Amino acid sequence: MDIMEFKTIKIGKNNNKLTDSIIKDLKTSKDIGVLKCIQCGMCTSVCPASRHSEYDSREISKRVLEEDESLIYDDIIWNCFYCYTCHSVCPVGNSVSEIIQVLRQKAIINEEFEQIVTFLAFGESLLELGIGSIPIEYYSELIEVIGNDYPEFKNKLDEIREELGLGSLNLPDEDVKDIGNILEKTGFKDRLEKIRAYKKSINSEQ
């Protein structure tokens, strides 16, 4: 005789893979209230991305609770501003802002580099100089938008810093080397290498 399948809670069986992984992620607050979401919509009501685009914070939280893993590959997650306004008003301590951070990391771990490839230069600058930089891909756009005063001032930056009595912009070589060593062992250099390879592959396709 067939054993009947009852729809009951299966103790010990994990039905909350996505929510669990978000709650346990290092990027989220240790007491994040993902499972406490009551769909009140406070997050959406204060969210700049929800005000100006198709993005909807409450919907993100709902889809996470529904274990909808397709979110990871949904372009909509890339609209969040990381302003933490949702995070700061949630009545149950949930944080869509932090949820989005984890979802985007999952996309990157699955080698979805399309959305971050243009930010590669920040990582390269940090490895080279120990400080971050404006993404070089957008520099000409910045000049176009802001005007020629911008590159002019950038060219004079060292001079201005000296006038203001400030020290060198870059770190000593020895320290840059240390930072490189650390970031190699944390796996960051590997990640950058993969993104670089991806960049090469899309450039050669064009």
Partner 1 sequence: MKKIPDKDILIFKSCLISGEYPGVESSTKYLFDKLGVEYVVEDRQSCCTGLGYYYDLFDQYSTTALAARNFAIAREIGHKNIATMCSTCYAILKKSCNILNENDKVRNKINQIFKDSKLDNLIYSPGDMDSEGNIFHVAEVLWSKKAEIKDLPMIDLSELKIATHHACHYFKVHYKEDSIGNKRNPLLLDDLANACGTETIGWYDHKKTTCGAGFRQRYANLDLSLSVTADKLMSLKENDVDTLLHMCPNCQMQFDRYQPVIEKNLNTKFNLAHLNIAQFLALAMGADPYKVVGIQTHTVSPDKVLEKIKQASPVAV
Site for partner 1 in 115-174 (CB under 8 A): 115-116, 118-120, 122-123, 126, 130-135, 137-138, 141-142, 145-147, 149-150, 153-154, 157, 160-161, 163-169, 171-172
- Taking the complex as a whole, the smallest distance from the CB of residue 1 to partner 1 amounts, in Å, to 48
**Interface of this chain with partner 1, residues 5 to 34, rule: CB under 8 A:** 25-27, 30
Q: With binding defined as CB under 8 A, does residue 110 bind partner 1?
A: no
**Interface of this chain with partner 1, residues 79 to 98, rule: CB under 8 A:** 79-85, 87-88
- Among 188, 196, 198, 199, which residue sits at the site for partner 1 (rule: CB under 8 A)? 188
- Taking the complex as a whole, the smallest distance from the CB of residue 85 to partner 1 amounts, in Å, to 6
- List of residues 6+ apart from 176 with CB closer than 8 A: 127, 128, 129, 130, 170
- Taking the complex as a whole, the smallest distance from the CB of residue 58 to partner 1 amounts, in Å, to 18
Q: With binding defined as CB under 8 A, does residue 35 bind partner 1?
A: no
66 vs 193, beta carbon nearer partner 1? 193
- Distance (Å) of CA 189 to CA 71, 150, 175, 179: 27, 31, 16, 11
**Interface of this chain with partner 1, residues 44 to 73, rule: CB under 8 A:** 46, 48-49, 51-53
* Other residues' Cβ atoms within 10 Å of the Cβ of residue 91: 12
**Tokens describing residue 68:** 């909808």
- Taking the complex as a whole, the smallest distance from the CB of residue 122 to partner 1 amounts, in Å, to 5
20-29 burial, b at 16+ Cβ within 10 Å, e below that, comes to eebbebeebe
Whole-angstrom Cα distance, residue 166 to residue 153? 16
- List of residues 6+ apart from 55 with CB closer than 8 A: 47, 49, 76, 79, 80
66 vs 115, beta carbon nearer partner 1? 115
**DSSP string of 153-182?**
HHHTHHHHHHHTT---SSPPHHHHHHHHHH
